Chain A
């Protein structure tokens, strides 16, 4: 794919929080890009910076205490990070849709879902007033909710969790976004409901050609859904690869450990790898590899210098000083 087909290009994003306990280095130099229509998975454990990274792009983090210290996020030829706030509002819910983990926090409880979808259509599209209701109903139908016209009259609390999550997707799709960012959209749902939502998203991919960023801690969910995966650890991307490659040949010790620690539904009797130790503290800016304290491959260089994400092939990058395949230091 050519350069011009990139919908999003993020470089060297740094986000911090100034808290009474000290500065939290939540995102430490994150760079990635996304092609048109591409599905990107973002995985990593709690606190690794997945949400703050994506929310920083749309300046949805509370500022203060948050501060975007550095970076560029070029979307559609404009830098989102320097865009005027009122223009940014147009992008949010317009060309970029955002789906949050808990739909109750982003749906207004006192307005019907029909009203909320129509408002979004009014704000971001030039749908004629007489067509608004039909268009809203069509969106509700698109996400697999039966009796669409009736449903438009419901308030969010009258819907089940799975239905609300679908409404969130419908709202996010209202304006034909070029990019949809979904932050753990199915984590709170039961698996049979999660399967329904993922089925809808797969279906939409073919219909709409929207690019998608799907944040999750579930390596199972992304395996069947995305084209490429970013693995985050301690506020950095430690590995990035085409999805098949990541699972078949993980190159970062954290990714490898994580995959080994997961039990599989389709296998019996595997030993689960213990990843020793704890996730890193983010109160100091990393000056060594953040995974070093838990890493079985760590050697002196890992403690001296923080490895940066570096390409090992066209479809695979890793931030690690150890070359696992050849069992030797990666550089030199």
Chain B
């Protein structure tokens, strides 16, 4: 199927230690303008200094509440949004230094699956045309060969070749998301940013799509950045997890470490707020109730971004931005007091 997948030295958890994507201190500030001449009066600090590596073959989960900067991070990585600062490299090549045409050449290898399967498919195109579009755009295969590839893609995502002649509205939400996934894998990518790929789907359909993403990862050796606010699903699918809050990473760790022994007070509160579908477990679970709301990214508090809601905040937290540092346990945490 995919020759590249075969070359990769895959370890037991599906990932290896080769860094595929490296994000270094990226920032994305959207200007807030006012008046006729668009005078800049401030900025939304959507992403405000984020660094992490994504290893080939792994799934990195990116979680956080709405507005924390997850989608913007994904878009900056794929160069769909230009970073205000910082670098993104793909196989050790700095994307932020590349020309438009160089990025375009790499485009087939980095793809995105969107949240809303209804909005992201052109309603006037047949499913075959939608899936074949990237093949046309990047001049890969033609004629019968292209048709065969479209058929192959449809069956890979669990649809039938005869579906190629139908239109998106003839499909259910879960099926449309499969079409979006088929398009994303059409060019044999290495890396896919999945931005809330199941959020718009019915609960009973979500498992279908997640199982499909996992199967495709195994067969094609894909690397995922899986963006989601569903912390239970992220536990299921991710190898490592990064927790965002107000444009910054609060904690990053192997999935089991993060869920079993969260070190950051925000991660602890966030996890404790997620209900478990089991009344006996819920009856004895301790819920940490945070006070107040998430501050606006246009006006984040000085010091630690979490200081307005943190149950253990001290004076220092209101002055000093905590360093993102590695603990003895191997977990990365941005909190003065985590240990």
Contacts of B233 in A (CB 8 A): 263
Report B207 CB to chain A, min CB distance, Å.
Answer: 4
Smallest CB-CB separation from B212: which chain A residue?
A274
Once the chains bind, are A218 and B204 in contact (CB under 8 Å)?
Answer: no
Partner pick for A270 among B229, B236, B282, CB 8 A cutoff: B236
**Cβ-based interface call for A303 (8 A):** no
Contact of B207 among A198, A217, A261, A264 (CB under 8 A): A261
Interface range on chain A (Cβ under 8 Å from partner): 35 or more
Q: Is B23 located at the chain interface by the 8 A CB criterion?
A: no
B208 in contact (CB, < 8 A): yes
Looking at the assembled complex, report how far the CB atom of A316 sits from the nearest CB atom of chain B, in whole angstroms.
14
A195 and B293 contacting across the interface, CB-CB below 8 Å: no
Please determine whether B232 and A268 come into contact, CB atoms closer than 8 angstroms: no
Q: Is B31 an interface residue (CB 8 A)?
A: no
Cβ of B156 under 8 Å from chain A = no
Residues of A within 8 A of B269 (CB): 192
A269's nearest neighbour on chain B, judged by CB, is B236
Instruction: Select which of B204, B270, B280 is within 8 A of A244 by beta carbon.
Output: B280
A265 touches B65 (CB 8 A): no
Q: Is residue B289 contacting chain A, with contact meaning CB distance below 8 A?
A: yes
Bound Cα distance A330, B263 (Å): 50
Q: List the B side residues contacting A162 at CB < 8 Å.
A: 293
CB A186 to nearest CB in B, in angstroms, measures 10
B294 close to A (CB within 8 Å): yes
CB contact between A274 and one of B208, B235, B237 (< 8 Å): that residue:
B208
Stretch at the interface among A63-71, A113-121, A207-215, A220-228: A220-228
**In the complex, how many angstroms separate the beta carbon of A185 from the nearest chain B beta carbon?**
14
A190 contacts chain B at the CB level, 8 A cutoff? yes
- Compute how far the CA of A248 lies from the CA of B230 in the bound complex, rounded to whole angstroms: 23
Q: In the complex, which of the residues A244, A263, A278 contacts B235, with contact meaning CB atoms closer than 8 Å? A: A263
| B98 interface residue per 8 A CB criterion | no
Query: How far, in Å, is B228 (CB) from chain A's closest CB?
Result: 11
The answer to whether B229 and A257 touch across the interface, beta carbons within 8 angstroms, is no
Contact B231 A191 (CB under 8 A): yes
Q: Which residue of A191, A194, A195, A224 has the most chain B CB atoms within 10 A of its CB atom? A: A191
A324 contact set on B, CB distance < 8 A: none
Task: Find chain B residues with CB under 8 A from A276 CB.
Answer: 208
Residue A55 is within 8 A (CB to CB) of chain B in the complex? no
B290 at the interface (CB under 8 A from A): yes
- For window 157-203 of B, CB contacts with A under 8 Å fall at 172, 174, 202-203
User: CA separation between A164 and B82, bound complex, in Å?
Assistant: 35
User: Knowing A223-B275, A247-B277 touch, does A193 contact B293 (C-beta < 8 A)?
Assistant: yes
A227 vs B256: C-alpha distance when bound (angstroms) = 32
A258 at the A/B interface (Cβ < 8 Å)?
yes
The answer to whether residues A191 and B273 also contact, given A224-B282, A272-B207 and a CB cut-off of 8 A, is yes
B313 to chain A: closest CB distance in Å?
Answer: 16
- A266 with B204, Cβ < 8 A, contacts A193-B293, A196-B289, A278-B172 known: no
B319 at the interface (CB under 8 A from A): no
Establish whether residues A279 and B204, one from each chain, have CB atoms under 8 Å apart when the complex forms.
yes
B155 within 8 A of A: no
Contact B203–A258 (Cβ < 8 Å): yes
Chain B, 69-96, contact with A by CB distance < 8 Å: what is the 0/1 string?
0000000000000000000000000000
Closest 8 CB pairs of A and B: A224-B282, A220-B275, A195-B273, A263-B236, A190-B65, A261-B207, A272-B207, A219-B277
25 contacts between A and B (CB under 8 A): A163-B293, A194-B273, A196-B291, A199-B287, A217-B203, A218-B275, A220-B232, A221-B275, A224-B276, A224-B279, A244-B280, A247-B278, A248-B280, A258-B204, A262-B277, A263-B232, A264-B277, A265-B231, A265-B259, A270-B236, A272-B207, A272-B211, A274-B211, A275-B205, A275-B208
